[in-house]
Structure 1
Amino acid sequence: MIKVTEKPTIELVVKNDETNFLINKAMTFHVPKDVNSISVFFATEQPMWLTYMLYDEQKKLRSQFIKGNAPQPVVIHTDSGKTSPYTISGPIHQGEWTLYISIETNEDFEYNLDLCTCSISFNEETNNLSDPITWQNRQSTTFHLKNFDANKVFNENNKWYKGDFHTHSIYSDGKMTREENMVSAANQKLDFFVATDHNVLPTSWFDETNILVIPGVEVSALLGHCNLISVNKSPFCNQRLRDMFTEEGMNQIITDDYGHSIFSINHPFLTEWKWKFTETPLKKIDAIEICNEPTYLDNEKATEWALLAWNYLLNDGYKITGIGGSDTHMKPTETYEDSNEPSLIGDPGTFVFCDGLSATNVVNAVKKGNVTVSRGEQIQFQIADFISGVHCNLVEGMAKALVDTEEAIYFEWVVDGEVVKQEKGNASEYMFHFHDDSYHWIRVNVRYEDGRFYGFSNPILFGEKEPSLTKWGQILDLMKEHMND
């Protein structure tokens, strides 16, 4: 049921594009003259995963929404001080505006769309909704983050910085406000994190600490979730929501131009959220989220499968970086069922080596593979002066790993996909000798005494190899034997 609370009543044109597990609707409505605000409110009597994008008469994206914990109504206003976060303020012109709505379903639950009401109203009075820091260009009604300075340096030191590449807030289905995310990140001693709410790109963020917040978005479809990190626009500027539910449409989203950014596959083997897009080109993948939310029970096995898949990719010659993401949706005091550990931003922490802390340098470090991931202290891993992600020109030498912790841990040395040595303690060494200068790689896994995941390094590489695999479906084929065990 759709209603517009502006007289005369405006008919909305509804076009259906429905499958067993997906409901897409495109609804148009006419905006009259002399409108200074549009308010959208969705009311549902059933829990549902609902996303919408609102486009103006010029087909420019002006508003985005996930029905989770985001405040409503969502208001677009000519005055930036009266505009909701995650929208674009500016002129509201007469003409046909379009609301694209996507509702994901499952085979066990049948939605009654008559119990879902969308109210659209014009010229309603609003409270002050503005943010002190904005990333979009207030002079332009396009969903581009022209005011986010990716080159702004937060710390000039050349060092390892701790971050989190996967976080959520109340603007999708997270429980923490943006301010609470900042407090939690500071408590976890993070230097940076990426804001990656489902399908919506932050246009602003509160900036009250020295923590770098990088804009991102988790594109969330039935066949898998991925992160676009340090992007300069929404992935739905040019793609409609329904495009992310097909192989062709998702590949268009992946290959779009977002500036100097990262495409990362999230929790690729996690239950119903695994990455099942078989046509994803491997050459477009910058990173894979190897460890996702380690306090969530199902991720224990999913992490091990991700490590195995990563081995296949590295053995084939791909230089795809392994990263981590807390994927935290909870308050710091809350735990998942069957867990006695709190779900925290920065668990795991992803450490990147940067020549000064900026979004650009974080992206550069990830693309190079200068990354380690840990649930605790940083994993220090090197061969002579070579660190993770660097090509080493030695054929023999000593690899060293250290974790400055008193926890009971052990090391697994992984060479060309095989575990060649295990050693208890907080430090370990491995003597390598290659017979020629052909392609090889070495990295280290770190585990708690009981075998649970603690962390890993990205590999140090030797030589080059031209990859032969081309699509993600080939990795899934290689993984079938392991995943059926």
Structure 2
Amino acid sequence: MCDDDARLGRRALFVTGAAAALTLGSVTFARGADDMHHTETRTVSGTLPPGSPDFVYVPVEVPDGVREIKVSYTYDRPAVPAGTPGNALDIGIFDERGTDLGGKGFRGWSGGARTEFFIRADDATPAYLPGPVNEGTWHIALGPYTVAPQGLAYELTITLSYGEPGPVAEPVYPPERARGRGRDWYRGDCHLHSWYSDGRRTPAEIASLARAAGLDFINSSEHNTHSAHAHWAEAAGDDLLVLLGEEVTTRNGHVLALGTDPGTFVDWRYRARDNRFGKFARQIRKAGGLVVPAHPHATCIGCNWKFGFGEADAVEVWNGPYTPDDEVALADWDGMLVASVREGRSWIPAMGNSDAHRSPDPVGSPQTVVLADDLTREAVLEGIRAGRSYVAESRNVSLSFTASGGRGSHAGIGERLRVGRDTPVTVRVEVAGGPRCHVRLVTDQGVLFTSGPLPVSGAGVVEWVTSPSYAAYVRAELRHEAVVGPLPGALAAFTNPIFLGRD
């Protein structure tokens, strides 16, 4: 056993252009290519104190002739005082091409979802990328997510298997088009996790649930890995468009890289203070995708979004079952709409996704309903980017939201009704699937109209008259009956706004 149990003060701490990182002493192996069909194992242990850097790298000197590398790890979980985080240690690996931020060395990251993984040319553990195990210095990446006051004691076991490598399989990706209905409203869920990160469902199982939920498209969004991209082709089909992406999971919030080119990897090893996010937001867009901060007010450690919204193409306002942090996200987004009107700048559309991981998490609750020219990657992303969308709790809920005024002028969700400042404008909401729900119309002044409860059938029409001088924008909410006093009920659906006035 190699003992690496030294205090950080005796190690070289450095910054890799991003979060602080620590590199420990190398793990070496004696055998080379002449020792075919053998295995070698090394075990390394150490203790990380509270205040450890975000990433700790363990170099592994891989000789020539290695067919497979396998890594397993354990760490202690001592009791901690109430309210104090305990130990949580993530893991991943980079190959001989190095650990540079945004570089080519990334080979996988399973976070805390797995205790072991392997990589070889023809296969790899889900969350990891198959490919050659080349000679050189590899790096096991440890991420001490939280460290108990007693410190975090860990043990790594690294096994190299020698022999001829298997054939490297060429990845096959899902098509960028499915059978659509022309310009129409398409339903999707763009935040889902399979067993290729910390989910428990296969892509096939997720696709089946998506079809049952009435979805037309989904997006692969594994934590800090694109390893699932090559495993969605068989799950896609003429009736289901599968977009590819990643949930970039930093220590200062999560962001969806939505609908990127196949094989796109987006690095996550930075904090807001490192001033690196803009570079990777541009990478997402260069790869054809959208930058969508996820659950921006979530309360889990590291989940709250701290990078600002200057790079956002959309924002995930509703994430999974409707909870108070979604209500805060909705209010914050509405504040951003007000600011966009006040400052005369572009606005950020909202969307909603399930963030489903495992049973019983429902896929497609909520779902984003997008007006797109067809069921293609390009058309769906353009609809989301333009804000031609609303969010519904399920396939059972549908909305039509329009504004009309002047000489036959009309506009829909995400559009602008260009009429004079004092022109009367009729806002119309048609609802299906909202039994006993209330329709609320929200403007830059706040909630200016609330309907009575819809009938048990769930269908109804609401109209309200305003003007651009009174409301710079209008958006619609469909709310369930309130449970507690004056607080509004949970959302059943909400729309992106319609803007009123010539500018």
TM-score grouping bracket, smaller chain normalisation = 0.7 to 0.9
Q: CA deviation at 1:290?
A: 1.0
Amino acid at match of 2:180: N
Tell me, in whole angstroms, the C-alpha distance in 1 between the residues paired with 2:276 and 2:211.
38
Q: Give 1:317-396 correspondences, 5 Å limit.
A: 317=340, 318-332=346-360, 343-376=361-394, 377-384=397-404, 385-395=410-420, 396=424
The answer on 1:427 being equivalent to 2:471 is no
2:70 aligned residue (25, 35, 39): 39
Q: Give 1:157-306 correspondences, 5 Å limit.
A: 157-201=182-226, 202-206=228-232, 207-208=234-235, 209=237, 210-232=239-261, 239=267, 241-244=268-271, 246-257=273-284, 258-272=286-300, 276=304, 278-280=306-308, 282-294=309-321, 299-306=322-329
Q: CA deviation at 1:134?
A: 3.5
Partner secondary structure for residue 245 of structure 2:
strand
1:421 to 1:20, Cα distance in 2 relative to 1, 3 A: same
Tell me, in whole angstroms, the C-alpha distance in 2 between the residues paired with 1:456 and 1:189.
18
TM-score, length-scaled by structure 2: 0.74
Amino acid at match of 2:88: M
User: Could you report, residue by residue, the CA deviation over 1:120-176 in whole angstroms, capped at 9, with x for unpaired residues?
Assistant: 42347999997xx935xxxxxxxxxxx5654x3442522111111211122222222
Partner secondary structure for residue 155 of structure 1:
coil
Partner secondary structure for residue 196 of structure 2:
coil
Amino acid at match of 2:261: N
Map of 1:119 onto structure 2: 158
Amino acid at match of 1:33: D
Q: CA deviation at 1:188?
A: 1.1
1:268 to 1:57, Cα distance in 2 relative to 1, 3 A: closer
Map of 2:13 onto structure 1: none
Map of 2:83 onto structure 1: none
The answer on 1:30 being equivalent to 2:50 is no
1:393 to 1:418, Cα distance in 2 relative to 1, 3 A: same
Tell me, in whole angstroms, the C-alpha distance in 2 between the residues paired with 1:311 and 1:235.
32
1:204 to 1:417, Cα distance in 2 relative to 1, 3 A: farther
Amino acid at match of 1:219: V
User: Could you report, residue by residue, the CA deviation over 1:187-241 in whole angstroms, capped at 9, with x for unpaired residues?
Assistant: 211111112122122232242343222112112233222211112377766x4x5
Map of 2:84 onto structure 1: none
Map of 1:140 onto structure 2: none
Amino acid at match of 1:289: E
Map of 1:141 onto structure 2: none
Q: Give 1:85-96 correspondences, 5 Å limit.
A: 85-96=126-137
Partner secondary structure for residue 304 of structure 1:
helix
User: Could you report, residue by residue, the CA deviation over 1:417-451 in whole angstroms, capped at 9, with x for unpaired residues?
Assistant: 51110002232112122249xx9211111101222
Tell me, in whole angstroms, the C-alpha distance in 1 between the residues paired with 2:475 and 2:301.
27
* Identical residues among aligned pairs (%): 21
1:75 to 1:61, Cα distance in 2 relative to 1, 3 A: same
1:411 to 1:454, Cα distance in 2 relative to 1, 3 A: same
Tell me, in whole angstroms, the C-alpha distance in 1 between the residues paired with 2:305 and 2:317.
17
**C-alpha contact 1:4 1:10 (8 A) present in aligned 2:** no
Amino acid at match of 1:203: H
Structure 1 gap ranges (5+): 136-146, 333-342, 466-485
Alpha-carbon RMSD across the aligned residues, in angstroms, is 3.5
User: Could you report, residue by residue, the CA deviation over 1:434-479 in whole angstroms, capped at 9, with x for unpaired residues?
Assistant: 249xx921111110122222110001123587xxxxxxxxxxxxxx
Amino acid at match of 2:171: T
TM-score, length-scaled by structure 1: 0.77
**C-alpha contact 1:217 1:227 (8 A) present in aligned 2:** yes
**C-alpha contact 2:88 2:144 (8 A) present in aligned 1:** yes
Tell me, in whole angstroms, the C-alpha distance in 1 between the residues paired with 2:247 and 2:104.
21
Structure 2 gap ranges (5+): 5-25, 32-39, 78-86, 341-345, 405-409, 455-459, 483-488
Map of 1:476 onto structure 2: none
Tell me, in whole angstroms, the C-alpha distance in 2 between the residues paired with 1:227 and 1:249.
16
Tell me, in whole angstroms, the C-alpha distance in 1 between the residues paired with 2:96 and 2:229.
17
Amino acid at match of 2:90: L
Amino acid at match of 1:65: W
1:323 to 1:417, Cα distance in 2 relative to 1, 3 A: farther
1:170 to 1:93, Cα distance in 2 relative to 1, 3 A: closer
Larger Rg: 2
2:437 aligned residue (406, 409, 419): 409
Partner secondary structure for residue 356 of structure 1:
coil
Tell me, in whole angstroms, the C-alpha distance in 2 between the residues paired with 1:21 and 1:446.
46
Amino acid at match of 1:458: N
User: Could you report, residue by residue, the CA deviation over 1:62-119 in whole angstroms, capped at 9, with x for unpaired residues?
Assistant: 5212144459533231x3xx3445444444432222333322005x5655333x3242
